[in-house]
Structure 1
């Protein structure tokens, strides 16, 4: 199972996260690969329905290459500030257990 998660993560990392014309919904489907409906042993949080401000802050922090980030800095690096803002608005508007 752990290998499957790593393989999916690698495949997602090697795929462009967001083309200029892609919608937030399509981008969120990529996020769902890891940030699904349930917590993954506490390591990967559910993001659906999280507050907008928290999502913007998290996405912005992942643009910095720090030792504490894993794959997220690679996934977020291709997003402009406007795209990160739009994605955060979309995700925060979804109904979820993360509120």
Structure 2
């Protein structure tokens, strides 16, 4: 990891924006789980899918990722990757 990336700074406004997005998604999903705990699974699955789509959860998460990732020095290493790419390299993504 680059020395510049060992400590990153985020201003308060950006940090609050990130926290608000995470809070909205996390608490909403928690409330949905609690509400649907004794209801048919299909209802919960539809509500969750509708929430993700209607509330643009993927776009919100992309915004959070952008706010945080822009704080990193993106200088490429000997492996032609920056620190973020290198750290994310091993993630196993969902596959159909």
The TM-score normalised by the length of structure 2 is 0.29
Largest Rg, 1 or 2: 2
